[in-house]
A and B are shown apart, each in its own frame.
Chain A
Amino acid sequence: MSLLGVDLATVLELGQDHLLLAGVPLLVGLALAIPLGWLATRRGWLYPPLVAGTGLLYTIPSLALFILLPGFLGTRILDPVNVLVAMTVYTLALLTRTVADALLSVPGHVRQAATAMGYGPARRFLAVDLPLAVPVISAGLRVAAVSNVSIVSVAALVGVSQLGSLFTDGFNRNAMGPIVVGVIGCVVLAVLFDLVILLVTRLLTPWKVSAS
């Protein structure tokens, strides 16, 4: 079976690669952004350097990062690990601020009540602050997901295959078909990420649904 002259099995395989290259860094980036964001809210003076510092990473052009990273990591230029690391950096750039702001959005009286009940700092963070930060974090995560899906396609230029490979292929062969299929694939993936994040958020925030 084929779609606009592109073999469907190939599209599915590329889509799967794309999914992993965008999705895994999303999770790793989130896992790193949570402690960083927390640190930024713990001490007032840490907020500007941490949030601005990580935010700046986002301005590094992706192609440059894909090419520079092997030098830092000692990996081969074609290694997908370069892409995974680069995408984690971009996720971290977007999510550190999100997590910090989400934690700051937890109402002061709720935090104080938790302390007054006898929560230690770590336990309070896990039991009260973090669950209440979920809605804001989730909004930031949706932005990061779309951004990742879009940026990953550039990795085709350094030979890491995913849906972006259809663009280079279409360009080389001067064919519209693969480009259109690539765009559709990216959109479908972005929508998929969005739905999954929404669903998980719903499950984590039953109080939000019933409040409305």
Chain B
Amino acid sequence: MIRLEGVGKRYPDGTVAVDDLSLEAPRGRITVLVGPSGCGKTTTLRMINRMVEPTSGRILVDGEDTAGMDAARLRRSIGYVIQHAGLFPHRTVLGNVMTVPRLHGWSRARARERAREVLELVGLEPAHARRYPSQLSGGQQQRVGVARALAADPDVLLMDEPFSAVDPVVRGGLQQEFLALQERLGTTIVLVTHDIDEAIRLGHRIAVLREGGTLAQFSSPADLLAHPADDFVADFVGADRGYRALSFQRAQVPIHAEQPLREGTGHAPGSGEAWRLVIDADGRPLGWRHTDDPEERLRLGGTLAQQDGTLRSMLDAALSAPSGRGVVVDDRGVLVGTVRADEVLRAIQQAPRPTGDTVRTAEGTE
């Protein structure tokens, strides 16, 4: 657990980057610091591993004041990932990942073995291990950056805009993998971003900072969307926060049976529907086919909703399917049935408005 107590940073030139910031990043959870550019997010993050020394307040890691620790040793116990990965250009991928274990004094062989393990963990092909960073794509570099940070199995990981330099197409997948990885490892993470969408997608707890480095709101994502503490937060969270809030709501939505076509079986007896869902041998949806289409083209597209998914994913599945029937799958990806947009909306209408938990602002408790 990381605890900031009235932490402030005034740079020598007089800039107050962070002012009297108090918050707690709970163990095993993702805490996101979000806010406009220049509001002190990077400074806050760097004060945790003492790359920047606070000018007031104190920071505790697992109850111990970091000010009394050896800075280099503290940093070795905390993983750190930055925007452009910051990989060492003169070391191979493997050499980069071996860095912290070697600093811990591990033997070369043991460090190498561990590096191979983490590279696999972050989904990088072993063939890349001998390459230099300049030979990798941005997304691959970012994976190596994460692997390097995780190599010595730190309890705490600090991440500064880890996904913002990555191509948007790759970003979604990386974020998804990142969430799965965090869940698996149970690492305590503090992540900085300027992107409220990313904050809501990744954070268990979100701290919204405002210009001048003060805390505007610290709460769960659902709560942030439902109860912005003030105009600044409401503005920052954005106009479509009502829709985003659906990401945290689940409700019973009628699921209709679908009569799918098995791929490769050609014309099946008509069900009277113009659009037929095509599934593979295992029952996983492949796409939609229009019965009048002479070439029997498969239309991809249409997001899939999980059986126990959120109202947002249900609505999105219904809105994005060419047939208007949103595809619902179970946790193995096998077709369960379809949902209709009007019925999802009815469920939204009937669902209680989110209340979330207590809002904590810079001033105290609401």
Q: Are A116 and B80 in contact (CB under 8 A)?
A: yes
B90-A109 in contact (CB<8A): no
For residues 206 through 227 of chain B, which have their beta carbon under 8 Å from a beta carbon of chain A? none
Which residues from chain B contact A112 at a C-beta distance below 8 Å? 51, 82, 86
Given contacts A116-B49, A120-B72, A211-B132, contact A110 B89 (CB under 8 A): yes
Cβ < 8 Å to A, chain B residues 48-95: 49, 51, 72-77, 80, 82-84, 86-91
A residues near B103, Cβ cutoff 8 Å: 117-119
Which A residues lie within 8 Å of B49 (CB)? 116
A93 on the B face (CB < 8 A) = no
Q: Is the CB of B89 within 8 A of A132?
A: yes
B344 interface hit (Cβ, 8 Å): no
CB neighbours of A120 from chain B (8 A): 72
Q: Is the CB of B75 within 8 A of A118?
A: yes
Does the CB pair B76–A131 fall under 8 Å? no
Contact string, B129-149, partner A, CB cutoff 8 A, digits 1/0? 001101100000000000010
CA distance A205 to B51 in the complex (A): 29
Decide yes or no: A117 and B51 within 8 Å by CB, A109-B83, A112-B82, A207-B134 being known contacts.
no
Question: Which B residues are in CB contact (< 8 Å) with A117?
Answer: 75-76, 80, 99-100, 103, 148
Asked if B100 contacts A115 (CB within 8 A), the reply is no
The answer for the CA separation of A128 and B88 in the assembled complex, in Å, is 7
Q: Number of contact residues on A: which range applies?
A: 20 to 34
Quick check: B132 and A116 within 8 Å, CB to CB?
no
Q: Is the pair B88, A119 in contact by a Cβ cutoff of 8 Å? A: no
Q: Is the CB of A118 within 8 A of B100?
A: yes
**A210 on interface, CB distance cutoff 8 Å:** yes
Nearest chain A residue, comparing its CB with the CB of B74: A118
In the assembled complex, A73 has its CB within 8 A of some CB on chain B: no
Complex Cα–Cα for A113 and B134 (A): 16
Chain B residues contacting A132 (CB-CB under 8 Å) are 88-90
A114 close to B (CB within 8 Å): yes
A211 (CB) vs chain B CBs: closest residue: B134
Q: Are A110 and B75 in contact (CB under 8 A)?
A: no
Establish whether residues A109 and B100, one from each chain, have CB atoms under 8 Å apart when the complex forms.
no
Cβ-neighbour of A113 out of B73, B74, B87, B135 (below 8 A): B87
CB <8 Å contact, B72 and A113: no
Query: How far in angstroms is the closest Cβ of chain A from B134?
Result: 4
Q: Are B88 and A113 in contact (CB under 8 A)?
A: yes
Inter-subunit contact B88/A110 (CB<8 Å) = yes
B80 and A109 within 8 A (CB) = no
Closest B residue to A212 using CB positions: B134
A207-B86 contact given A115-B75, A117-B148, CB 8 Å threshold: no
* B75-A210 in contact (CB<8A): no
* B103 closest partner in A (C-beta): A118
Nearest Cβ distance between residue B104 and chain A, in whole angstroms? 8
Q: With A115-B75, A117-B148, A118-B72 in contact, is A131–B90 under 8 Å at CB?
A: yes
Distance between A127 CB and nearest chain B CB, rounded to angstroms: 9
Given contacts A117-B148, A118-B100, A210-B135, contact A109 B76 (CB under 8 A): no
Query: For the complex, what is the distance from the CA of A157 to the CA of B252, rounded to whole Å?
Result: 100
Task: For B83, list chain A residues within 8 Å (CB).
Answer: 109
- Picked from B51, B91, B131, the residue with its CB within 8 Å of the CB of A116 is B51
Report the separation of the CA atoms of residues A22 and B72 in the bound assembly, to the nearest whole angstrom. 42
B77: chain A residues at CB < 8 Å are 118
- A-B residue pairs, 5 tightest by C-beta: A113-B86, A118-B76, A116-B80, A118-B75, A211-B134
Given contacts A116-B80, A116-B82, A117-B103, 18 further A-B contacts (CB under 8 A): A107-B89, A109-B82, A109-B86, A110-B89, A113-B80, A113-B82, A115-B75, A116-B49, A116-B86, A117-B75, A117-B80, A118-B76, A118-B77, A118-B100, A131-B90, A132-B88, A207-B132, A211-B89
A-B contact pairs, 13 of them (CB 8 A): A109-B82, A109-B86, A110-B86, A112-B82, A116-B51, A116-B80, A117-B76, A117-B99, A118-B74, A128-B90, A132-B90, A210-B131, A211-B89
